[in-house]
Structure 1
Amino acid sequence: MKNSKELLKTKIENQVEILFNKSLDEANALEIYQGLSNVLLETISKDWLKTRKRYETEKQAFYFSAEFLMGRALGNNLINLGLDKEVKEVLEEIGFDLNSVEAAEEDAGLGNGGLGRLAACFMDSLVTLNLPGQGYGIKYKNGIFKQKIVDGFQVETPETWLKYGDVWTISRPSEEVVVEFGDGKVRAVPYDMPVIGYGTKNVNTLRLWEAKSINELNLKAFNDQKYDEALKEVNRAEDISRILYPNDSTNEGKKLRLKQQYFFTSAS
């Protein structure tokens, strides 16, 4: 019978093969990160389901926030599960440093300031204290911005944290809803992120909504070679979850922020 380290190594190897059709000696840090994260999701899946089923019979607290500054998931979850030392040793056996694997994860662009960190702390506290609670927010495609200093001035670039996908948010297409505005409708597609408690089998949920167009493409306009017009509805819908805290210095920006707030509260 395999010991726990051998079993963990085999599971990571299997995930890397399934996801990337590579052996461990061919994989890079990002691929190891994604494979390991999938192994952890498998590890908590039964506890996550049991927690959700138990909550269906209890009163719950629901925490709504425009931002959740959760930080990188892998390192935090390894500590909470008590697996950090074991995983570190297994990764060293296959030629990887835990820090480099953790660094391959993009920092989730779901929050930026004190409000977001407070919301994340509430989520961590609820689950660790075994309290029935769930968070609701927006799955932003981009964080607030990345900062560069050029000639003494701040230059802002997109913080596209989802460019390689996100292992830790699970799509729930069967629970999609439609949100109506005065000028149209959008689809709200839910993604669930597990919030793992420290030293407990409890696993709470952070539900994040992504805005999608009712129609994916205006085919007539596209065939007429009016390409911008063909994607106008798609872009207007996706603008709602495109970026954390869009510039609200004009009325258009203020309207978009209001739409964001209405979108995720209405969907939730």
Structure 2
Amino acid sequence: MLSVSELNAQAKALLETSFSFVEVEGEISKFRIQSTSGHWYFTIKDASAAIDCAMFKFNAARINFIPSVGDKLIVSGKVSLYAPTGAYQIQVSNIRKSGEGELEAAFAALKDKLSKEGLFDAAHKKQLPKFAQSIAIITSAGSAAQADMLRTAQNRFALCKIDLYNALVQGEGAPASIISALRAADAKGYDAIVIARGGGSREDLWCFNDEALARAIYAAKTPVISAVGHEIDFSISDFVADHRSLTPTAAMIDLLPDICAIFQSLDGVSDAFDRLIKDKISSAQNVL
């Protein structure tokens, strides 16, 4: 009978003996650099499978570029197993580019196509309302993005009515789900619609690069804000929407006025009015 540790140790030895050197081509995803060690951790995938990779700092230091999600690479190294968790992975010794990743190519092609059709033209962008009375938020119900947006909206301008339209924001069914919610909200006459999702990998955010969704955003009568991912994330929905916000929270800041600033402005107007009246009375007294 084997213990878990013994089984993992034997599996590790078998993998490293049988696959002491491999070259694997795939598209990179979920890339990160460990902040303290400097090691690289990422996943490479093709259409039907994926494998985790680890590249230690001393090997990574020899690479003259930082891989990005969507890059198509050829990685070389040995197949191993991380015994504490039983995770099967490639311990990468070298990386080289094999051409533009499929995701990046698809993104660039669709962006170019829609741009030539005029879907991104500034002339078609609708202005955001100065004082929105009602807005629709399309996102996943119960998500961190929803919570952040509602909290920010409450702090800035609680007078605005906000309705949530629950939609899938990841996976194959997400574009159709978002389009359905968008069309329902567009028919209600809101002052603005916000399509939002928090950060994630390029694959996680890929549904916002859907052509049908882009055309639905373009066709909407209501001003649409695209607030997807983080500042560095760009999607087709960002280009076709009437306004792009850097994050879901930023969408509320871009759309809603700051009630504190309004109060201060009103105080300033009131003070100016008081001074004007006093000046008028003083001037009349002098004439008298």
TM-score (structure 2 length as normaliser): 0.27
Kindly name which structure, 1 or 2, has the bigger radius of gyration based on alpha carbons.
Answer: 2
Greater share of helix: 1
Identify the structure with bigger relative contact order (alpha carbons < 8 Å, sequence gap 6+): 1
Greater share of strand: 2
